[in-house]
Amino acid sequence: MARYRGPKQKKARRFKEPIFGPSKALERKPYGPGQHGRSRFNRKSEYAIQLEEKQKAKYTYGLLEKQFRNLFKAASAKSGVAGENLLQALECRLDNTVFRMGFARTRRQARQLVSHKHIVVNGGIVNIPSFDVSPGDVVSIRPKSRNLEVIDDSLSGSSRNKYKWVETDAKSRSGKMLYVPTMEEIPENINVQLIVELYSK
């Protein structure tokens, strides 16, 4: 299954944001990686700014270029605002939904739970991280996997029931998507208009 396997903290420092979760490396070195990371004269072109925003969205949600481009094409074909459609499509991925429900501390961990067949959607096992979760769908932990330590640790954290569009029942190890979030509700710091402008060239 294709996914980014490179150094996470180097990417976080590149975007100057903890896109993979809390980052001690970013706290210690709040500047870009490499010999020019500290440069104050690193001016960026309009294209470079747009490209960086697209790259940040890709790494945040764990997609590669082809997956992201196909998702953008589908979002553009739908009625409504392309940028908002794109963010909503990213949020409705199964791996992201598992993360939002608090069953995993990171999207990478959520993706692994899905691909290892620990996740059940509406009573059936789903091992496709890109599976599109719809409002009303019930996402739960497979009965044999409910006592996994990583899930217990994640549910004991503060992320559970943090997002209005999903609800989680820690006791039954299940959750439900209540509705598709609006762009204003999605907490990720992503300027989708820059991505739309990039792909429109």
Domain boundaries, the chain: 8-90+190-199, 94-177
Q: Say if residues 61 and 107 touch (Cβ distance below 8 Å).
A: yes
- When comparing pLDDT for 2 and 122, which is higher? 122
Q: What is the CATH number of domain 8-90+190-199?
A: 1.10.1050.10
pLDDT in the model for residue 91 = 95
Kindly report, residue by residue over 22-65, the tens digit of the pLDDT. Answer: 666 655 666 566 555 555 556 778 998 899 899 889 988 989 89
Superfamily in which the 94-177 domain is placed by CATH: RNA-binding S4 domain (3.10.290.10)
End-to-end CA distance of the chain: 30
pLDDT at 194 over 90: yes
Kindly report, residue by residue over 119-144, the tens digit of the pLDDT. Answer: 999 999 999 999 999 999 999 999 99
Give the largest Cα separation in the chain, rounded.
56
pLDDT in the model for residue 31 = 59
pLDDT at 66 over 70: yes
Return the closest-CA partner of residue 173 out of 197, 198, 150. 150
pLDDT at 181 over 90: yes
Mean pLDDT of the 182-191 span = 91
Query: Rounded to an integer, what distance in angstroms lies between the CA atom of residue 201 and that of residue 189?
Result: 23
The model's pTM is 0.81
Q: 32-36, 71-75, 88-92, 175-179: lowest mean pLDDT where?
A: 32-36
- When comparing pLDDT for 151 and 10, which is higher? 151
pLDDT at 1 over 50: no
3-state secondary structure of 166: strand
- When comparing pLDDT for 32 and 156, which is higher? 156
Percent residues over pLDDT 90 in the chain:
59
